[in-house]
Chain A
């Protein structure tokens, strides 16, 4: 098992904790996280949380904060080389800072991303493809990958007995899809990782009493 942990400061926490409402938010989070992982690791004074990349049978990014832990799928391979992480995917040989910025620029403006006209959306992608043959394949991969969103909430403000338990998991993010699984006890980061880990024993769901 490979696990890489990155401390997050209060500023990084701001974008990490932006509520996820769409696949575009997931891509944004994933790309911003890769930026951090590509940097040489430095100490983070005043850390308020952490980001964990766990790579084994499961491949996930986990974000852990005081009252919230959540995770998304990490669709790329990570290779550690001389203390530096490198990323590749089935469709792109090298996901570096430049490629990440290009992806972010494609999804940055509503004007382009939600354009009625397909070519308005495609234009910037075509431009990047002029110099990087694999850019479109990577972008398609990002649009298609399963996001695997799951979140643990410790939610004092909205707790409502078994309907909205103090400790619960939210699975999926879109309104019509998402559902809660209660937990009797608080969930720590290691509990959370254990729930997701395919190599450890399963957790069981049982009806509330």
Chain B
């Protein structure tokens, strides 16, 4: 809904929204095209009702009159020019080609029963339905790339999914077009709900609406920030924004931290520059939380006289400590928009479920709901004897789950609503996740299995290209790197596709098979994803990555995993998946109270925000390690743990080595 309520129309608006809620119909009521402020009309007594697969209806709340006719004419003329602007015209034709059969006008009191009215509006012809959907996408500012989606009805599953016309839903539309009302607006959504896309739309709206404003757009991950920075000009071009982007004058798009060399290299870095705060660089001894806290202390003592930014857009907010949001808020004059995936932070002790987001996106448009369900299950260890995480009923709901449980509350059946994204694509016989077990040795077995999966995808989808598949290696040990090398040799040889090892090239290359690790795939998506791991580990960061990577696919995810290393847990994971594929339900037993306590105690114990040094130091204290041994022990654990460290393993390694050292 993006129209003003008034005494004449409010009954109608309310009844439409109730109807749509009950019948799960996606509908929009607008009074002008969204996405461009230049379209405005004098006539205020009309609304336009947009429902996919139904004719576009102009409704007047007076008797039909000349003014209303003018309004309709102007509106359609403007729609024609928007269609021209985004180059839809060649595909869908001029207004005269669609005005008669895809639009209609009516006086409000002639509508009568809404359900019967809708039946009258239904468009039966599939290709006309598609044109109508394209018109709706133009009117709601949810612009699709017409060269990609096209007007022809796609035939294969792969093409259907690729050429699906994307439309914002109500929540998304409201987020993009509503004016800021408070200093911090949060938007929560699962992987694949289109958060980044929405932030880009929001950025465009702000950039155009406030010509003098300064905007920061950031996320934690450097690679993702680089790709965002590349996406912005492409997106602005695509949205036909005529203004130039003034980098580092009006718009900063970098990762959050930055480096000493360049004040514009990070948001925190820039804030430090602006307020003369000492910049702290990343090290084993300095976490981002500490750095932000120090900056806040500085600002507390020396309150800033002017703001650094007017707006701040923060993506992947789950990667940040609260201190960073505080710092942004202190440095921003108007609003900070914070978008994140609540699920990726479920292992944080102070989980964000506690805070109600302003916008909650529960509908995942990228990933098949079944894939999402499996990814959640594996992320939380739901099918394993020792669960890593359990959600309360309202938290399940916040993640978009419908919860059914038996009388004792022990057995849970969790399911998700099916979505418009896939509603008319026939996928009944396509399992959304396939577990593929490898033989030993792992590198040989896994590369065999990956090649088998690629060939399987090629058999089932003859139009598939190397760009449609992403291979993501979840492990960060040398085996994973060797596996990528093996693929680099075997895939060209056996399939004839070139391989792009993206953690080396740092980009996507057209017509080459994408192979990368978990650090380089955030924000990317593929029709098919093959995730590979040798051992399903229990660390929270690992489980988060599993969830994040499994949900990168539109159609199907293959989970390639060593059989030998996961003998204990694989059978139950497989049967859990079979149930999801068969019935669309996660069926699981809730943990007992004792188990729940254990889960929360473990989570509390491994707070993410601690730096490596602090955690090591804490363990030294806990084990009462004598000071003379500490330096050597620190060297040892530095060698053992590369990028990843977790409390349990760290504790174990220190205890073991300390024992040996002190025995000598």
Contact = CB atoms under 8 A, between A and B. Distances in A.
B504 interface: yes
A118 interface: yes
Interface string B266-300: 00000000000000000110000000000000000
Nearest to B479: A97
A39 B261 contact: no
B501 A120 contact: no
A118 B481 contact: no
B506 A105 contact: yes
A123 interface: yes
Interface in B441-494: 443-444, 477-478, 481-482, 484-486, 488-489, 492-493
A11 B505 contact: no
A35 interface: yes
B498 interface: yes
B623 interface: no
A206 interface: no
Interface in B229-283: 259-262, 283
Max chain A C-beta neighbours (<10 A), residue from B261, B284, B504: B504
B284 A130 contact: yes
B261 A11 contact: no
Contact of A12 (B444, B478, B486, B489): B489
B232 to A, nearest CB: 16
B478 A11 contact: no
A18 to B, nearest CB: 14
A131 interface: yes
Interface in A60-86: none
B446 to A, nearest CB: 13
B664 interface: no
Nearest to B260: A119
A131 B644 CA distance: 10
A123 B260 CA distance: 10
Interface in B622-664: 638, 642-643
A108 interface: yes
B542 interface: no
B478 A119 contact: no
Contacts of B444: 40
A97 B638 CA distance: 20
A98 B478 CA distance: 6
Interface in B189-243: none
B503 interface: yes
A181 to B, nearest CB: 35
Interface string A37-63: 011100011100000000000000000
Interface string A12-53: 100000000000000000000001101110001110000000
B506 A98 contact: no
Contacts of A156: none
A77 B367 CA distance: 48
A39 B483 CA distance: 9
Contacts of A35: 485, 488
A161 interface: no
A36 B642 CA distance: 24
B519 to A, nearest CB: 11
B642 A101 contact: no
A96 interface: yes
A194 interface: no
B636 to A, nearest CB: 13
Nearest to B496: A11
A131 B488 contact: no
Contacts of B259: 119, 123
Nearest to A123: B259
Given A105-B506, A131-B642, A96 B261 contact: no
21 contacts: A9-B489, A9-B493, A35-B485, A35-B488, A36-B485, A39-B482, A39-B486, A40-B444, A44-B493, A96-B478, A98-B481, A101-B504, A104-B501, A108-B505, A117-B261, A120-B262, A123-B259, A130-B284, A131-B638, A131-B643, A132-B642
Give the 6 A-B residue pairs with the shortest CB-CB distance, closest first. Answer: A119-B261, A97-B481, A11-B492, A104-B504, A131-B642, A35-B485
Given A105-B504, A119-B261, A120-B262, 18 more contacts: A9-B489, A11-B492, A11-B498, A35-B485, A39-B485, A40-B443, A40-B444, A96-B482, A97-B478, A97-B485, A100-B481, A104-B501, A109-B506, A119-B259, A130-B283, A131-B638, A131-B643, A132-B642
Interface of B: 259-262, 283-284, 443-444, 477-478, 481-482, 484-486, 488-489, 492-493, 498, 501, 503-507, 638, 642-643
Interface of A: 9, 11-12, 35-36, 38-40, 44-46, 96-98, 100-101, 104-105, 108-109, 117-120, 123, 130-132
